[in-house]
């Protein structure tokens, strides 16, 4: 683990420079992210917003036939307040936001979507789902229990549903970088970054059969930060499904990362470890704030750091041979991991 930065961030949650702890076996990541952080400071800061936040669990029932499943869904849609009340009893921090559903034949997948305060909320949502299932099975005798998780949630697996209906925090971070900074710090030009993003992240991922993905290595930075802050680390899978959008604007580089599924919390499992608490404190994510604000602050920091790491790697890739040279000098040839 090493600390990089500071990253300069401007958002409703932070106007500050933040030093960020990254835990990784891939040591060149530190230098690379540091370069991005330097850009963030020189270019006036990374702007970031949170578009949405929710944690989900899809319960799975079976009815005798589709008509019965449909009829029950229709009724459930009119009884959302009752279900919200069932959920509210499981924790004062778990609040029902929305119920989405799918019916396949006689199978009914209900996707419960909740806000969960400063916790990532896996546990809280599963607990809520358990209680909703009990309530449903009591109310609708025609339903049969199949599973408290029907994979329409969906946890730690690639999907399209998480980005479309939401899971975790949907964060966008963006920055405008002058040509001079591109040239001096990143050793590249705005045009080269724009070109590479189109040909590698957009087209290349597309032919690889990627789904809702257009980036080089969001996953590396997510991993390092999730490890350092005690997150449920396998959620980097959803996290890896995000987009870089960049363009030339007034002769400058507009560079953005969009992360629809940042799944982080500042309380819950893993947060009791001492080094995790230290790291969260360093990030100022354990302060007395309104419910949810610490977790939002953390999500913003995650997105801004992802921007730093992504920008630096893309810049390196625009120059033939740079990636390999850097890795060789930083780790004496032991590893290059995109």
Only segment of 13-21, 77-85, 218-226, 288-296 that touches its own copies (CB under 8 A): 218-226
Contact 221, 22 (CB under 8 A): yes
Q: Which of 156, 187, 200, 245 is catalytic?
A: 156
Q: Which of 8, 26, 38, 169 is catalytic?
A: 26
Residue among 78, 250, 251, 320 that touches its own copies (CB under 8 A): 320
Is 232 catalytic? The answer is yes
Residue among 75, 77, 80, 104 that touches its own copies (CB under 8 A): 104
- C-alpha–C-alpha distance, residues 79 and 241, integer Å: 34
Nearest-CA neighbor of 196 among 82, 315, 31?
315
Only segment of 13-21, 126-134, 181-189, 277-285 that touches its own copies (CB under 8 A): 126-134
Nearest-CA neighbor of 57 among 120, 106, 140?
120
Over the window 15 to 34, marking each residue x when it contacts its own copies by CB under 8 A and - when it does not, the resulting string is ---------xxxx-------
Q: Which of 122, 169, 271, 327 is catalytic?
A: 327
- Residue 56 CB contacts under 8 Å (≥ 6 apart), including other chains: 111, 112, 113, 114, 125, 153, 162, 165, 166, 167
DSSP assignment of 69-111, as one string? HHHHHHHHHH-HHHHHHHHHTT-TT-EEEEEEEEEETTEEEEE
89: contact with its own copies by CB under 8 A: no
Residue among 2, 41, 47, 142 that touches its own copies (CB under 8 A): 47
Nearer to its own copies, 19 or 157 (CB): 157
Residue among 86, 154, 285, 298 that touches its own copies (CB under 8 A): 154
- C-alpha–C-alpha distance, residues 71 and 39, integer Å: 56
- C-alpha–C-alpha distance, residues 308 and 305, integer Å: 5
Residues 231-260 that bind its own copies (CB under 8 A): 231-234, 236-237, 240-241, 243, 245-247, 254, 256, 258
Q: For the chain, how far is it from start to end, CA to CA, in angstroms?
A: 19
132: contact with its own copies by CB under 8 A: no
Across the strands, what pairs with 56? Answer: 113
208: contact with its own copies by CB under 8 A: yes
Is 192 catalytic? The answer is no
Is 156 catalytic? The answer is yes
Is 252 catalytic? The answer is no
Among all residues, which ones are annotated catalytic? 26, 156, 232, 327
């Amino acid at each position: 683990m090493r600390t990089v930065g500071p990253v300069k961030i401007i958002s409703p949650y932070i106007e500050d420079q933040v030093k960020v702890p990254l835990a990784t076996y891939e040591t060149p990541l530190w230098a690379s992210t540091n370069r991005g952080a330097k850009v963030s400071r020189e270019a006036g800061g990374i702007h970031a917003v949170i578009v949405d936040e929710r944690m989900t669990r899809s319960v799975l029932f079976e009815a005798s036939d589709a008509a019965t499943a449909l009829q029950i869904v229709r009724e459930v849609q009119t009884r959302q307040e009752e279900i919200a009340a069932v959920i509210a009893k499981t924790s004062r921090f778990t609040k029902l936001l929305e119920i989405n559903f799918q019916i396949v034949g006689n199978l009914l997948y209900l996707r419960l979507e909740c806000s969960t305060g400063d916790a990532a909320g896996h546990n809280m949502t599963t607990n809520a789902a358990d209680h909703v299932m009990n309530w449903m099975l009591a109310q609708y005798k025609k339903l049969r229990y199949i599973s408290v998780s029907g994979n329409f949630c969906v946890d730690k697996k690639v999907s399209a549903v998480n980005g479309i209906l939401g899971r975790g925090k949907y964060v966008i971070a963006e920055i405008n970088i002058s040509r001079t900074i591109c040239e001096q710090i990143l050793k590249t030009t705005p045009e080269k970054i724009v070109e590479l993003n189109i040909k590698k992240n957009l087209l290349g991922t597309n032919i690889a059969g990627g789904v809702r993905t257009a980036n080089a290595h969001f996953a590396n930075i997510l991993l390092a930060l999730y490890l350092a802050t005690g997150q449920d680390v396998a959620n980097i899978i959803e996290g890896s499904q995000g987009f870089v959008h960049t363009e030339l604007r007034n002769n400058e580089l507009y560079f953005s990362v969009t992360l629809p599924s940042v799944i982080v919390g500042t309380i819950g499992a893993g947060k009791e470890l001492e080094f995790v608490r230290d790291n969260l404190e360093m990030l100022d994510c354990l302060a007395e704030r309104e419910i949810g604000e610490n977790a939002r602050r953390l999500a913003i920091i995650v997105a801004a750091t992802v921007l730093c790491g992504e920008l630096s790697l893309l810049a390196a890739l625009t120059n033939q041979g740079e990636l390999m040279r850097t890795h060789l000098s930083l780790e004496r040839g032991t590893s290059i991991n995109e």
